[in-house]
Amino acid sequence: MWSPRLFALTILCSSAAAQTPDGFNLSASAQLRVVYGSKAVDPPGTSFTKAETASMPVFGSNDNLSGTYLFVMIDLDVQRAGGNRQNLLHAMIRDVKPSGKTSAEGFQVLSSTATGPTAYLGPSPPAGQPAHRYTFLLFEQPANFAVPAGQRQVLNSRVGFDMNTFAQQAGLAAPLYGNFLNPKKESFQTYECVESESLLEKERVFESSATHHFLPAGTFQIVQPVAASSKILFYGVVFAHRAQN
């Protein structure tokens, strides 16, 4: 059952608070070990590039765990119009258990055959915004765990996810482990749409693997280089563009 005492997260010792970002009202008493490739999120707050975090990390604990757990990753700093921030759910993986393996860093690896209820989505913060804080949490998973009916839509959309509300409705106690990373600032090309033309059938614009970030005021950014003479597909319309300094 939900217990305010178990989830009294504002009264915490400094060692617990260090596992999650300052200002986040959800904290854990121990560090979740998280590794992307050969790079560990250690200490908490270590910076990573987008490429480094493209795939699901290996995670686990220094403790000898034997239960079933729920892994959650949240971006705390998605910026809305007007400057307000909201959360974005990057992953929620159920049925996490000890894998029987030990990582190269010496911790007990946890894993799951499940990929949901919300599959992993790597960080991709738009440039020019305040720093994003990507937070990892590990909860003990209750017996007969199920996503509450009132939470299914937000788990599908990811945007506006509220961990406190979800925990209350799903019967979660306070998280056992936590950690967080910060994204490294990366260089992006910025383009401005200056004219449009009809979309020609089968016209190729840029490789589908190109990652783009849409910005306000008619500008957008794209990670991989684009020739100055090329066209950009923007919501079904092809735009000519010019690079901005």
Query: Could you give the CA distance from residue 118 to residue 72 in angstroms, rounded to a whole number?
Result: 9
pLDDT(160) > 70: yes
Structure confidence by residue, pLDDT tens digits, 56-115: 999 999 999 999 999 999 999 887 766 678 899 999 999 999 999 999 999 999 999 999
Residue 237 lies in a domain: no
Residue 192 lies in a domain: no
Residue 164 lies in a domain: no
Residue 167 lies in a domain: no
Q: Please tell me the pTM assigned to this model.
A: 0.71
Q: Which residues of 58-82 are buried (b: 16+ CB within 10 A; e: fewer)?
A: bbbbeeebeebbbbbbbbbbbeeee
Phi and psi of 102, rounded to 5°? -115, 135
Q: In which domain, by residue range, is 114 found?
A: 17-134
Residue 96 lies in a domain: yes
Residue 173 lies in a domain: no
Residue 71 lies in a domain: yes
Structure confidence by residue, pLDDT tens digits, 106-143: 999 999 999 999 999 999 887 666 678 999 999 999 99
- Cβ distance 178 to 61 under 8 Å? no
The residues, ordered by sequence, that sit 6+ positions from 102 with a Cβ below 8 Å of its Cβ are: 108, 109
Residue 145 lies in a domain: no
Number of structural domains in the chain = 1
Amino acid 117: pLDDT = 98
